[in-house]
């Protein structure tokens, strides 16, 4: 490893050590594959590539999924995660063992590869590249909320690393104590180029590409072709060109074997112009070839109001006094007046997608009808400011915390009566599932995963048209139900009874992985079309 990486990272709390084993060594036989704890058969090795992991840093739902899904699959696969070593990773309590070095390509710098062992047996590989990842701000934005201007290189580095770990070149391949990935599971645009790097090197390692949000595509000017080491021949409408720009998202879709998204409804929606963000034609073709499917996210077992240590008061179904104690706690957190009216909540990234403009427009009517509103989240400055103004207009009735804390979020899910989610689109949505578990009924636009996880009038409220009028009607229904205590409690019970556990998602992912990991020679790359 380079000394500069050691010097730069030694300043942090995390202990960084080197091992003698090089990351790249001679090919090993399948028999050398690692064995997951408790299993007698070698478990197939899978590399889960992500730009967020809630154990260290999360910007939104991708971080939650990256922390939960590989762990849920650990019983069946030797799942390992690859992500950048952001400052939060190096400042965490987990030691990093440097296991090797990955070469650069064009403007993508070389970097070291570290390994971290997390609880529950999850191994995480981290890219030690201080010049790209060790900075203040978020994984995607600087402290002023602007995109890092070198994001293409930063996530080109992540994508290239995934491909380098999977591919074999000149008889050499990456191995970590016998572990080498047989399949890459890529997530969102930040990892899309990985599939391209493999195919441009004639490597057919199977790739699953999961779209968590089609609206963020990773589009860069044509000059990035050479900067990222992408062959000119790939810059066509059939390749990763998207209206004269290079698209990371399109690379993931074109070069992966199978595309999943995080709900069945969103999988259908993205084949239409209204939701396809210009890629609907390509995605329709994928659907026609059975290369596109929807596998819903789950939520992990920590979402249990009886055991969650963050809550002011643990509670179970029918223990409405316990739930009420959480409501009072949230009112105190936000300096709201004592009230017997309903408490509405927003726990969200504050971005256009989430329909905060509708919520802001509905706020006054909520207050006039005797309700209160609490909001936690951060995002677009204009939305943040509009919410601050709202709080100033309705002191004691509306409370806003700009920022995010897991503890506060959980307290709000537990304390609120209703969660507002008028999302313009919602690939899956986790917040509505968290809310339901904690007895808060979501009021949501019938779209994407919201349509799949909320039963209107039973476990929440859905409205069809994304209009102020329809949203208001749903809020009015919620007020009416709140006034009919027995009905309201019945809905709460129904919402708390559903549990979208990750194990429900494990079966379709296993089927997909299994079908893609056919033995070499049994199928060609282009024939690996599966249905899940």
Ligand X SMILES: Nc1ncnc2c1ncn2[C@@H]1O[C@H](COP(=O)(O)OP(=O)(O)O[C@H]2O[C@H](CO)[C@@H](O)[C@H](O)[C@H]2O)[C@@H](O)[C@H]1O
Q: How far apart are CA 248 and CA 286, in angstroms?
A: 17
Residue whose CB is nearest to ligand X in the complex, by number? 60
Q: How far apart are CA 221 and CA 5, in angstroms?
A: 30
Q: Give me the least distance between CB of 209 and ligand X, in Å please.
A: 13
Q: Give me the least distance between CB of 130 and ligand X, in Å please.
A: 24
Strand order in the sheet with 172-174: 24-25, 172-174, 168-169
| Shorter beta-carbon distance to ligand X: residue 347 or 478 | 347
CA 273 to chain centre: 24
Report helix angle 280-288 to 248-255, nearest 10: 10
Q: How far apart are CA 48 and CA 183, in angstroms?
A: 9
Q: How far apart are CA 183 and CA 202, in angstroms?
A: 15
> Helix, strand or coil for residue 347?
strand
| Shorter beta-carbon distance to ligand X: residue 64 or 257 | 64
| Shorter beta-carbon distance to ligand X: residue 196 or 449 | 449
SS in 3 state form for 295-315? Answer: CCCCECCCCCCCCCCCCCCCC
Q: Give me the least distance between CB of 377 and ligand X, in Å please.
A: 4
Q: Give me the least distance between CB of 405 and ligand X, in Å please.
A: 9
Q: How far apart are CA 438 and CA 413, in angstroms?
A: 6
Q: How far apart are CA 414 and CA 408, in angstroms?
A: 10
Contact 127, 111 (CB under 8 A): yes
Tokens of residue 224, six digits? 């990035």
Q: Give me the least distance between CB of 51 and ligand X, in Å please.
A: 12
| Shorter beta-carbon distance to ligand X: residue 173 or 437 | 437
| Shorter beta-carbon distance to ligand X: residue 279 or 347 | 347
Strand order in the sheet with 418-421: 398-402, 372-377, 343-347, 418-421, 441-445, 461-463
Q: Give me the least distance between CB of 82 and ligand X, in Å please.
A: 18
| Shorter beta-carbon distance to ligand X: residue 269 or 426 | 426
Which residues, in sequence order, are CB contacts of 251 under 8 Å at separation 6+?
A: 192, 193, 195, 196, 234, 239, 240
Contact 453, 432 (CB under 8 A): yes
| Shorter beta-carbon distance to ligand X: residue 56 or 197 | 56
Give bridge partners of residue 172 from the DSSP assignment. Answer: 169
- With tokens 């602007």, the residue in question is 146
| Shorter beta-carbon distance to ligand X: residue 230 or 347 | 347
Q: Give me the least distance between CB of 60 and ligand X, in Å please.
A: 2
250 is in an annotated binding site: no
| Shorter beta-carbon distance to ligand X: residue 212 or 437 | 212
- Tell how strand 343-347 and strand 245-247 pair up: unpaired
Residue among 308, 93, 106 at smallest CA distance from 200: 106
| Shorter beta-carbon distance to ligand X: residue 9 or 453 | 453
Residues of this chain that interact with ligand X (CB under 6 A) are 58-62, 64-65, 212-213, 262, 297, 347-349, 377-378, 404, 409, 426-431, 449
Tokens of residue 285, six digits? 């073709």
Give bridge partners of residue 80 from the DSSP assignment. Answer: 47, 123
- Tell how strand 241-242 and strand 441-445 pair up: unpaired
Q: Give me the least distance between CB of 449 and ligand X, in Å please.
A: 6
| Shorter beta-carbon distance to ligand X: residue 217 or 297 | 297
Residue 217, CA distances (Å) to 250, 374, 474 in order: 8, 32, 33
Residues flagged as binding site for ADP-alpha-D-glucose: 58
Binding region: 58
């Amino acid at each position: 490893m380079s000394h500069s990486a050691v010097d730069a990272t030694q300043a942090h709390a995390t202990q960084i050590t080197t091992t003698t084993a090089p990351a790249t060594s001679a090919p090993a036989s399948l028999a050398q594959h690692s064995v997951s704890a408790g299993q007698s058969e070698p478990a197939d090795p899978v590399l889960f590539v992500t730009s967020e992991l809630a154990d260290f840093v999360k910007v939104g739902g991708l971080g939650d999924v990256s922390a939960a899904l590989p762990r849920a699959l650990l019983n069946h696969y030797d799942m390992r995660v690859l992500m950048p070593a952001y400052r939060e990773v190096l400042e965490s309590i987990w030691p990093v063992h440097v296991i090797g070095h990955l070469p650069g390509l064009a403007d993508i710098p070389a970097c070291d590869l570290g390994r971290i062992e997390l609880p529950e047996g999850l191994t995480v590989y981290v890219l030690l590249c201080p010049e790209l990842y060790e900075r203040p701000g978020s994984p995607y934005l600087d402290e002023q909320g602007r995109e890092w201007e070198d994001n293409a290189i930063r996530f080109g580095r992540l994508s290239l690393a995934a491909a380098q770990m999977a591919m074999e070149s000149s008889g050499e391949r990456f191995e970590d104590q016998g572990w080498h990935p047989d399949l890459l599971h890529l997530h969102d645009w930040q990892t899309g180029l990985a599939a391209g790097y493999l195919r441009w090197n004639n490597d057919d390692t199977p790739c699953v590409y999961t779209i968590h949000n089609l609206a963020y595509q990773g589009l860069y000017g044509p000059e990035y072709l050479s900067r990222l080491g992408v062959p000119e021949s790939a810059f066509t409408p059939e390749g990763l060109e998207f209206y004269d720009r290079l698209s990371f998202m399109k690379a993931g879709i074109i070069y992966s074997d199978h595309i999943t998204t995080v709900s069945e409804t969103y999988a259908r929606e993205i084949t239409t112009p209204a939701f396809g963000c210009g890629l609907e034609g390509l995605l329709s073709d994928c659907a026609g070839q059975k290369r596109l499917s929807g596998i819903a996210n789950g939520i992990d077992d920590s979402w249990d109001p009886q055991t969650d240590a963050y809550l002011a008061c643990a509670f179970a179904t029918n223990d409405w006094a316990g739930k009420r104690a959480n409501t009072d706690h949230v009112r105190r957190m936000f300096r709201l007046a004592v009230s017997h009216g309903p408490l509405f909540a927003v726990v969200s990234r504050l971005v256009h997608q989430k329909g905060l403009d509708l919520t802001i427009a509905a706020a006054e009517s909520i207050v006039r009808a005797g309700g209160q509103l609490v909001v936690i989240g951060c995002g677009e400055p204009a939305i943040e400011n509009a919410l601050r103004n709202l709080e100033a207009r309705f002191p004691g009735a509306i409370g806003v915390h700009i920022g995010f804390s897991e503890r506060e979020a959980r307290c709000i899910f537990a304390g609120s009566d209703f969660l507002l989610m008028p999302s313009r689109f919602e690939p899956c949505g986790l917040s509505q599932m968290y809310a339901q578990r904690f007895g808060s009924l979501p009021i949501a636009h019938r779209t994407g995963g919201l349509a799949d996880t909320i039963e209107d009038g039973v476990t929440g409220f859905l409205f069809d048209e994304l209009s102020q009028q329809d949203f208001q009607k749903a809020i009015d229904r919620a007020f009416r139900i709140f006034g009919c205590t027995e009905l309201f409690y019945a809905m709460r019970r129904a919402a708390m009874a559903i549990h979208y556990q990750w194990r429900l998602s494990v079966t379709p992912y296993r089927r997909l992985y299994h079908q893609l990991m056919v033995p070499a020679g049994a199928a060609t790359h282009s024939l690996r079309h599966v249905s899940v």
